[in-house]
Amino acid sequence: MYLGLLGTASLAFLFKGKYKSKLSKIDFIVSVITWIGLLGFVTETTILTPAFWKIVTVIAFLWDISFTMLLKDYEDKEILEELPIAVRRVWMLITLVIMIGPLYYGLFKYSFL
């Protein structure tokens, strides 16, 4: 179900034109690759090698942190601009953990355990 929710949300952004910048397109590609790893974990299917998934896990995690915290251009700028920068960063980090924490938990178990 979780994978379906992630995929549906990303496809909605893709079809509604939210992925217009190059960074957003890269984020979508990184997301699809991590979903494939999560699918392998959930179905207990070996897809490629564990070494590949270790590299993907680390790079994708670093990408998501940097994209979310530093690079992403948020739509609700008015709401976020009212908050102090420290509060904004904490809010983005909490949202990131809630939204993609389960993805990286599964990907980590698939890669390293």
For the cut 80, the answer to whether the pLDDT of residue 53 exceeds it is yes
Q: Distance (Å, rounded) from C-alpha 107 to C-alpha 55?
A: 11
Contact 52, 16 (CB under 8 A): no
Contact 83, 91 (CB under 8 A): yes
Q: Tell me the pLDDT band of 76, cut-offs 50, 70 and 90.
A: very low
For the cut 60, the answer to whether the pLDDT of residue 70 exceeds it is yes
Contact 47, 40 (CB under 8 A): yes
Q: Distance (Å, rounded) from C-alpha 101 to C-alpha 97?
A: 5
Who has greater pLDDT, 18 or 67? 67
pTM: 0.76
Q: Tell me the pLDDT band of 22, cut-offs 50, 70 and 90.
A: confident
Q: Distance (Å, rounded) from C-alpha 37 to C-alpha 106?
A: 8
Q: Tell me the pLDDT band of 110, cut-offs 50, 70 and 90.
A: very high
Amino acid at 75: E
pLDDT of residue 51: 94
Least confident of 40-44, 47-51, 77-81: 77-81
